[in-house]
């Protein structure tokens, strides 16, 4: 047998694995979304921290009366600061852990073709871990955001009057100590866990479920629909923790600030009833639903930009990997 005929055919080259998306991509998408929905965040926080029960319209009017239209963007610097800590970590950690999680192989009942997917319970677990990490990272910015947006509900002598997020961070450390940075970290982490699980994991599951119906294909309409579902689920799941977190963070370290979270929760239930845990649900949904849509639609577009940039440089992207 000749040397030519006995030579083996070269093995096919292994497909290059696409590089993960930048860790900070989710934070950028969330910051862009915050620019559009921050006035709703202001109204929601003021409703949650007010002793009386102002409506959504009243909250907007009060904010506009205080500083004009600019009043609707009170605390915007803190909102961006929050997204670039909290959202950077929660999205980045979720994607990083998910990339290292072994998927489960399932077979289509009709075609028999195998497909690899991470089960919903695993996605929920990954989102929970990432959410807690984000809650810890974003806690200082969250405190400043709550204080800046709810300052109007306090007596003039008790207001913080932070000029911006960085000045608020400096004053909080110098006036209240480093420990103040972790004020309300427990309810914040609970809320972050619930938010990540009910928002990010729900988005992935909804997106996959909508694709299976055959009425959707990859694109903006799919991203819009999946994020709308995720936003509604997240609002309902997170409302109680969000209200408690706002109450704890808006308080100062003096006076009633020494009471435990459970003590404050018990007092509020006795005075206002269990329904107070869902106070501000409507503005929360009005804010969180479009915010969720803006985050995920923007995030998907940013991912496309990253893929296009990589393809131009000859670097494997998620698009080329899925189409090959």
For residue 27, give the CATH number of its domain. Answer: 1.50.40.10
Whether residue 316 lies inside any domain: the answer is no
Alpha helices in 50-119 (DSSP H): 56-67, 76-82, 88-99
Q: What is the pLDDT of residues 195-227, one digit of tens each?
A: 999 999 999 999 999 998 989 999 999 999 999
Whether residue 9 lies inside any domain: the answer is no
Domain total for the chain?
Answer: 1
Whether residue 12 lies inside any domain: the answer is no
**Segment 252-266 mean pLDDT:** 59
Whether residue 96 lies inside any domain: the answer is yes
Kind plus residue range of the DSSP H or E element containing 115: strand 114-117
**Cα 14 to chain center, whole Å?**
36
Give the model's confidence band at 257: pLDDT under 50 very low, under 70 low, under 90 confident, else very high.
Answer: very low
Terminal-residue alpha carbon distance, the chain: 37
Whether residue 25 lies inside any domain: the answer is yes
Contact 74, 161 (CB under 8 A): no
- 31 closest CA partner among 145, 128, 153, 156: 145
Whole-model pTM?
A: 0.77
Whether residue 15 lies inside any domain: the answer is no
**Cα 59 to chain center, whole Å?**
23
Q: Torsions phi, psi of 21, nearest 5?
A: -70, 155
- What's the domain range around 25? 20-108+118-308
Is 144's pLDDT higher than 90?
A: yes
Is 279's pLDDT higher than 80?
A: no
Is 274's pLDDT higher than 60?
A: yes
Instruction: Report the alpha-carbon distance of residue 324 to residue 272 in Å, rounded.
Output: 59
Q: Is 174 helix (H, G, I), strand (E, B) or coil?
A: helix
């Amino acid at each position: 047998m000749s040397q030519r005929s006995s030579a083996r055919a070269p093995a096919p080259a292994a497909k290059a694995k696409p590089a993960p998306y930048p860790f900070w991509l989710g934070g950028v998408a969330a910051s862009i979304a915050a620019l559009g929905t921050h006035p709703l965040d202001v109204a929601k926080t003021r409703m949650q921290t007010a002793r009386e029960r102002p409506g959504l319209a009243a909250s907007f009017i009060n904010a506009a009366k205080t500083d004009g239209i600019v009043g609707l963007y009170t605390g915007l610097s803190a909102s961006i600061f929050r997204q670039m800590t909290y959202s950077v970590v929660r999205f980045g950690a979720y994607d990083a852990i998910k990339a290292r999680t072994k998927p489960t192989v399932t077979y289509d009942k009709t075609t028999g073709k195998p497909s690899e997917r991470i089960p919903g319970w695993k996605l929920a677990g990954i989102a929970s871990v990432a959410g807690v990490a984000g809650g810890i990272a974003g806690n200082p910015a969250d405190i400043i955001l709550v204080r800046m947006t709810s300052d109007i509900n306090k007596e003039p002598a008790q207001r913080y009057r932070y000029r911006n997020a960085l000045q608020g961070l400096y004053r909080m450390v110098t006036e209240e100590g480093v420990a103040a940075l972790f004020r309300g970290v427990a309810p914040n982490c609970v809320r972050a866990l619930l938010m990540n699980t009910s928002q990010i994991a729900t988005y992935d599951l909804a997106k996959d479920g909508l694709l299976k119906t055959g009425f959707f294909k990859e694109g903006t309409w799919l991203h819009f629909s999946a994020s709308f579902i995720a936003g509604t689920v997240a609002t309902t799941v997170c409302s109680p923790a969000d209200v408690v977190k706002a109450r704890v963070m808006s308080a100062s370290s003096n006076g009633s600030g020494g009471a435990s979270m459970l003590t404050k929760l018990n007092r509020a239930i006795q005075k206002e009833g269990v329904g107070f845990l869902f106070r501000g649900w409507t503005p929360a949904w009005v804010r969180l639903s479009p915010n969720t849509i803006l985050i995920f639609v923007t995030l998907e577009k940013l991912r496309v930009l990253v893929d296009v940039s990589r393809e131009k440089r000859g670097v494997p992207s998620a698009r080329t990997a899925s189409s090959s």
